Structure formats: C-alpha cells, structure tokens
C-alpha cells in the first residue's frame, strides 16, 4: 500500500433509506485497486434517520416541536396539522417490519410501516420548515431552494433551519466521529438535488470544526450545478466551504486528489478537478475525462451499514455502461453531455459483467443495473452466460423497448433472473414520438411489453405529456395507451414534460414551435426552463384530469409502486406481474372483505382553526366547495383529509375493529348501495384499514397518531 492520506467519504441526507447508493463504493474500490488505503464510508442519510429516535434525539425533538407550535406562522401551522406526537416505539416497529423477511411482504403490515415512517418524518421535519419532508424521504424545500437561488443556498439561516432535524445526529454522532478519525480528506457525494442543501450545511459544520481538513465534493448534482449555473464564475460562491470539486466521473479524479495530498501538493493535473480560487491554481482545462470501464474493479459494498437499511435483504447498484447508445432523444439532457443528450456511450464487456455480477451475487441477492440504458445484444449474451454458469441472482435494468425482444428472448431473461425492467415509452402518439426521435412505434412497444409480460417480467413504464406542440388528443393517446394496455405494465405512469437547458428542444426551439425560453424567477441554477407555446392551459388541465384516472400506485419513491426502487423489485420478485393487482386490491373493497375486520386509520382533529384548515387545503390544492361541511381527519401517515361531515357517523362505527358485515348492521338505515359507496370511499382514501389477521407487536400503535374518536388539533 502506498503512503495514502486517510479519507472519510459521506453520503448525506435526504435520499432513499432502503439501500446503500453505489457512488462512494465505486470511488473507494478504484482507489484501493491502485494502492490507496480504504476510506471510511459513512451513509449519513440512514444514520441520521436511526439517530432521530434515540432517547436524546427524542427529547430534543419534543422541545423543537413545542417551540415550532408556538412560533409558527399560518402556513407553518397548516403543515403542523400533519405532525402528531412522536412515537419512538411505533417507528421501531415500522423499521422491524421493513427488515423482517416475512412481514415485509404482508401488504397490510407494509402499509402500516410506510405510514409510520412517513408520520415520523412529518414530526421530524416540523423541527425545520414544517412540511419539509413528504412521503418520508422526499424534500419539499422553500421555493427559493427548489428553483436554485444562490441567495437561499448560501444563506446560513435557511440552510441551518432546513438541516435542523439532523442537528442531534451531527452534534452527538457524526462530527465527534470525524474529529476522532483525524482524517486528511473528507468527501461528500451529492447525487440528488434533494441532498444539496443538507450537504452544503454539513460542509459548513465540518469546515468550522475541522478547518485544516481537505474537503471535497462531487456527484451528479455537483455536475448539474456546474453545467447549469447562469454565471459559472459563481460556482465557488455556492461551494465556498470546499477546497475542491469533482465534476463529471470521479474514480481517477479522486485518486489524483489522494496522490497529490500524499505528496504534499495540490491536485492540479486531472481535468475533472476544480480547486477553490483561494489556491490560485489557474490553468487551462482540457476536455472532461470519461473513465475507461475496463479499468474499474468490481465494486466492493462491504463497508456500508447493511443492517441499517429499511429492507429485508440486500440490493446493490451496478453500472456496467455509461451514457446511452441511442443518444438521440430530443428531450433528454443527462450528465456532462457536451453535444449529445447524454455523456459518451461506453459499455463493459459481457465477460467482465459476468465476473462482476457473479462476485456481487455472493454478497447481495438483488443487483440493479444503474445505467442510462443497456444494449439488447449485451443483455442477451449476459443472460445466456448467467444461465450457463448457474449464477443465482435477481436483477433489473433500464432498457429500450426494441422489437429485438421476442417471446423466446424474454423467457431467457427470466430464466437468468431478470425480475423487472424499466422503460421509457414517452408517448402513445406517433407524431410526438417522431418529434422526440425515439425510434419506436406504439404497436411495437405494445408487442415488446406483451413478450416481457408473458415471460413473467414486470414492466415499469414511464412517459410524459406536455411535449411542445402536443395537442389534447395526442396527450390522450398516451393516457389511452396505458389504459388499453393495463395488463402489460406493473408500475409507472405519465409525468409532465420538463424543458432543460441542454436538451435538443432548448437548443433548437424553432423546430419544436416554442418561444420565450427563460429561467424561473429567482433561479441561478437553471435545471429547468419556462417556455411559451400555442397549447392552451385549459387543454393541459383536461389532460391532468384524464391522468388522474390512471392508477399509478399508492406510494411515490422510495416505497413499493415507485419505479426503480429496491422495495418495488422485492415485491416484483415475490408476486411477479400480479404485484400491481395486489396493491390495487388494497384500496378496493372485495367480496372477501365482508367478514374482514376494519378499523379507523388515524384520528379526527377536534376544533381545528378554520383559517389554518383553509390554508392547508390551499397548499394541497383541493379546496372544498363547502369547508363548513367537512371534518379534518389526520391519516396514519400524517396526511390531513377534509372528509364530508356526513361520513362522520359511519367513520365512528370503525373506532374499534368491526367487519363490514357488522358495520352494515349498525348502519341499518342505509340502503346497501349507499353503504357500499361509503365503504368504498373510506377504503380508497385509506381512512379505514384492514386489521391484520395476526397482530404483531407494536401494530396497535400509530406512529405520531392516536386512535379515534379525536383529539385536540395540533
């Protein structure tokens, strides 16, 4: 081993808690392969979550919530309605469910665990900006943060408040650990936009505590900031606490930094390294460096805290390609892509893919190919070799829906362990597909989906409406495509088109009939752009209404029914292509439910402030026509629903467990069809839930909630 600096590599909040991400392991594995000592890899995202329900952090949280409830303004009070009383026993029960190899697959128990984590994170987020955490691990930041305002992203008051929920973890665990480690280098990897403000504040704390450490950052979000800053000279205004940045791919850049520090010099040779101007290291920078995949070792994931993730088994990410072999789609803008939609296409050999996956399969049962896309012929050769060598692995990938995928080839993929594939069909209209330069036809896409489905491979499908010049009918073609082929895809749905600066659409606006391209007000990082086009807002509203009729799953990322997440792949593996029917049945009343016990799944808020309720309804975008005819109900996941007051007598029937048959007898005055409509309404909105046949320890408790009939409003 060479005389190497000691390094700590940190993955910051806020992101998926169900598995470790692979960015830091790729860096560390490469550095070790050329002789550097192993780094200390810290997943601060999952560590901060678990620390939040320790006794000391809980005492801190109780005080923070009390303070928030006495100082909140109207909007914050509205969000605080979603936060009840923190319940550490409930959150421990939720964690135990996620990590249990049997209860994880019990959908009733799984729903309770998701609700418990979401409700807990509502409480935790209220210590910062109330409402800042959505669905558990999604960030709903102040608008200035979301649009990329440097003023907000460099404001200590904003960053410290946003990061306040993790303050006990930083003070009691992370910072003392870093001080004890006496590291020469600390790196923070920022993959997602949601992580940026937390990483910036964490860097500020580290710099204050350890002024002499060499502090670096890199990752997809750093590269996005680098390429999308309206004024590139302000890059280190944003990253002022860092000594250097890695833009683009990081394996060899990281080792260049280690080499330089070991030699007592500055890392000035690698084109992907940007040093803080305080070093005065001005030089002509060549083109960015793209790694040769054949030089990268098999990633080693052994230094991640696998017993901490909210999953029953291990799930690792693996990247045998970079860039996209198609590289033509006019909406696409990914990575440091120069003249094309993605970075240059590179693919490792199938033999190296087999070597890597065979080694990874001894460590983790699930391997996801975290790539822009895999080439069809390479996937097929890979599958043949997996079957030939008898490698026991479950895997998935993002692919293009090529006509290449016949029934026979899809069956081979399934035999090789392919569990689910993710695809971008983009649109169900041929004119729009041609404008996108997708190179596909709806009939061909349908045929390929059918072959995958017949083989038992889940198809997670993604598309969008609102592409420039798309008419109302063309958008409805996409809705119809998904609805008409409902049996051929498991999860996914239709999002909204977003214009990004590096896309061909933005570079050639005349070709796509758009004008007035401009940044969002207050944006300094132009991740997306506004534009004008002839399609009316009324048509867009009609399309949004049509899309509401598509069942896109119960939960967003990172839970089951979001595409490309560990939980979704686990459920695909257990339940096959029937997984979506399973989830749909959970919010539908079935014949078997007549003798199944249901119980209210939350609590009524008694005497809430009408002004606060009105503000919450405005935030949620569902202001009722008659607010006085509504009652406020906080669901187990913390979401506050405004229910019709006429449902209240029937809701009270389910204060204790009761079968639907018994509920009918108690509501004898209702005709059967009317009772069915009420039960359907309550079940679909998850206001009442099925009682598990065998209750598990902790199941009777509601994290951050108390049972009916009601309690004082928060």
Of 202-206, 610-614, 708-712, the range with the highest mean pLDDT is 202-206
How far is the C-alpha of 405 from the C-alpha of 472, rounded, in Å? 32
pLDDT at 696 over 70: no
Confidence of residue 168 (pLDDT cuts 50, 70, 90): very high
* Block residue for tokens 């993710």: 422
* Block residue for tokens 């595409």: 563
**Low-confidence winner among 110-124, 280-294, 445-459 (lowest mean pLDDT):** 280-294
- 186: which 2 tokens? 């600390």
Confidence of residue 521 (pLDDT cuts 50, 70, 90): very high
pLDDT at 283 over 90: no
Question: Residue 495's CB: how many other CB atoms inside 10 A?
Answer: 13
How far is the C-alpha of 179 from the C-alpha of 200, rounded, in Å? 19
Q: Give every CB contact of residue 694 below 8 A, 6+ residues apart in sequence.
A: none
- Residue 183: what pLDDT? 98
Q: Give every CB contact of residue 554 below 8 A, 6+ residues apart in sequence.
A: 111, 560, 561, 583, 586, 587
- Between the alpha carbon of residue 313 and those of residues 104, 215, 618, the distances in Å are 10, 33, 41
**115 near 705, Cβ under 8 Å?**
no
The phi, psi pair for 571, rounded to 5°, reads -70, -35
Using the 8-state DSSP alphabet, how is residue 706 labeled?
A: -
- Residue 326: what pLDDT? 83
- Residue 602: what pLDDT? 95
Interval 23-44: pLDDT, tens? 999 999 999 999 999 999 999 9
* Block residue for tokens 């990410």: 317
How high does pLDDT run on average in the chain? 91
Interval 359-368: pLDDT, tens? 999 999 999 9
Interval 443-473: pLDDT, tens? 999 999 999 999 999 999 999 999 999 999 9
How far is the C-alpha of 629 from the C-alpha of 646, rounded, in Å? 8
- Residue 560: what pLDDT? 93
Q: Give every CB contact of residue 316 below 8 A, 6+ residues apart in sequence.
A: 19, 20, 22, 299, 301, 360, 363, 364, 366, 367, 368
Of 5-14, 71-80, 498-507, the range with the highest mean pLDDT is 5-14
- Residue 703: what pLDDT? 38
How far is the C-alpha of 688 from the C-alpha of 375, rounded, in Å? 46
CA atoms within 13 A on the CB side of 620: 18
pLDDT at 702 over 50: no
- Residue 539: what pLDDT? 77
In this prediction, what percent of the chain has a pLDDT beyond 70? Answer: 94
How far is the C-alpha of 645 from the C-alpha of 631, rounded, in Å? 5
Instruction: Please give, one letter per residue, the 3-state secondary structure of 356-369.
Output: HHHHHHCCCCEEEE
Closest by CA to 93, choosing from 61, 124, 125, 116, is: 116
Long-range pairs for 450-456 at CB < 8 Å and ≥24 separation?
450/488, 451/405, 451/406, 451/407, 451/409, 451/410, 452/405, 452/410, 452/421, 452/488, 453/487, 453/488, 453/489, 453/577, 454/407, 454/410, 455/407, 455/410, 455/411, 455/413, 455/414, 456/414, 456/576, 456/577
Using the 8-state DSSP alphabet, how is residue 488 labeled?
A: G
Interval 318-354: pLDDT, tens? 999 888 888 889 999 876 666 666 778 888 899 999 9
Cis omega (within 30 of 0) for bond into 427: no
How far is the C-alpha of 652 from the C-alpha of 662, rounded, in Å? 13
- Between the alpha carbon of residue 461 and those of residues 491, 544, 558, 704, the distances in Å are 6, 18, 16, 34
DSSP assignment string, 580-605? HHHHHHHTS--GGGGGSEEEE-EEEE
Interval 211-247: pLDDT, tens? 999 999 999 999 999 999 999 999 999 999 999 999 9
């Amino acid at each position: 081993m060479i005389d190497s600096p000691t390094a700590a590599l940190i993955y910051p909040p806020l992101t998926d808690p169900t598995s470790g991400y692979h960015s830091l392991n790729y860096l560390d594995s490469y550095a070790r392969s050329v002789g550097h000592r192993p780094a200390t890899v810290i997943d601060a995202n999952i560590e901060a979550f678990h620390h939040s329900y320790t006794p000391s952090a809980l005492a801190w949280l109780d005080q923070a919530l009390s303070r928030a409830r006495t100082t909140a303004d109207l909007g914050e009070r509205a969000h605080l309605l979603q936060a009840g009383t923190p319940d550490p026993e409930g959150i421990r029960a939720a964690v135990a469910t996620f990590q249990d190899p049997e209860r994880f697959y019990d959908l009733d128990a799984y729903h309770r665990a998701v609700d418990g984590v979401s409700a807990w994170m509502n409480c935790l987020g209220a210590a910062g900006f109330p409402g800042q955490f959505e669905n558990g691990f999604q960030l709903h930041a102040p608008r200035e943060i979301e649009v990329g305002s440097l003023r907000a992203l460099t404001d200590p008051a904003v960053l410290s408040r946003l990061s306040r929920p993790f303050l006990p973890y930083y003070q009691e665990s992370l910072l003392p650990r870093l001080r004890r480690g006496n590291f020469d280098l600390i790196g923070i990897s920022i993959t997602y936009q949601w992580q940026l403000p937390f990483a910036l504040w964490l860097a500020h704390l580290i710099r204050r505590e350890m002024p002499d450490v060499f502090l670096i950052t890199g990752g997809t979000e750093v590269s996005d900031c680098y390429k999308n800053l309206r004024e590139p000279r302000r890059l280190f205004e944003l990253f002022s606490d860092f000594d250097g940045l890695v833009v683009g791919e990081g394996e060899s850049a990281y080792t260049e930094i280690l080499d330089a520090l070991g030699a007592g010099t500055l890392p000035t040779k690698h084109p992907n390294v940007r040093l803080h101007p305080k070093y005065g290291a001005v030089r002509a920078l060549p083109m960015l460096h793209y790694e040769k995949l054949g030089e990268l070792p098999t990633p080693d994931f052994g230094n991640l805290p696998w017993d901490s993730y909210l999953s029953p088994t291990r799930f690792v990410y693996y990247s045998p390609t970079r860039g996209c072999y198609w590289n033509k789609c006019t909406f696409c803008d990914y990575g440091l892509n120069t003249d094309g939609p993605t970075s240059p296409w590179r693919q490792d050999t199938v033999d190296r893919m087999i070597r890597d996956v065979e080694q990874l399969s001894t460590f983790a049962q699930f391997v996801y190919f975290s790539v822009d896309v895999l080439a069809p012929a390479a996937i097929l050769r890979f599958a043949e070799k997996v079957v030939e060598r008898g490698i026991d692995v479950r895997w998935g990938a993002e692919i293009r829906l090529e006509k290449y995928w016949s029934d026979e080839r899809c069956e081979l993929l399934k035999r090789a362990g392919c569990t689910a594939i993710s695809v971008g069909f983009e649109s169900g209209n041929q004119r729009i597909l041609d404008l996108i330069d997708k190179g596909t036809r709806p009939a061909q896409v349908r045929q390929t989906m059918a072959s995958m489905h017949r083989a038992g491979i889940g198809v997670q499908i993604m598309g969008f409406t609102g592409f420039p010049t798309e008419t109302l009918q063309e958008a409805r073609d996409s809705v119809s495509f998904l609805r008409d082929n409902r049996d051929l895809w498991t999860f996914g749905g239709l999002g909204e088109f977003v214009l990004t600066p590096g896309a061909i659409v933005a570079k050639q606006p005349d070709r796509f009939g758009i004008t007035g391209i401009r940044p969002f007000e207050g944006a300094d990082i132009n991740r997306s752009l506004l534009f004008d086009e002839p399609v009316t807002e009324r048509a867009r509203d009609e399309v949004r209404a049509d899309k509401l009729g598509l069942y896109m799953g119960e939960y967003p990322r990172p839970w089951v029914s979001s595409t490309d997440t560990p939980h979704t792949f686990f459920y695909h593996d257990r339940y096959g292509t029937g997984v979506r029917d399973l989830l749909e049945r959970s919010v539908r009343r079935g014949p078997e439910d007549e003798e199944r016990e249901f119980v209210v799944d939350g609590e009524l808020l008694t005497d809430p402030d009408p002004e606060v309720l009105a503000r919450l309804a405005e935030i949620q975008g569902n202001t009722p026509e008659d607010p006085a005819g509504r009652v406020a109900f906080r669901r187990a996941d913390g979401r506050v629903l405004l229910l019709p007051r006429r449902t209240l007598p029937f809701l009270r029937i389910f204060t204790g467990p009761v079968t639907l048959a018994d509920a009918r007898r108690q509501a004898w005055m209702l005709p059967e069809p009317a009772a069915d409509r009420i039960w359907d309404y309550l079940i679909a909105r998850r206001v009442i839930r099925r009682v598990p046949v065998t209750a598990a320890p902790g199941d009777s408790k509601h994290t951050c909630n108390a049972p009916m009939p009601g309690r004082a409003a928060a």
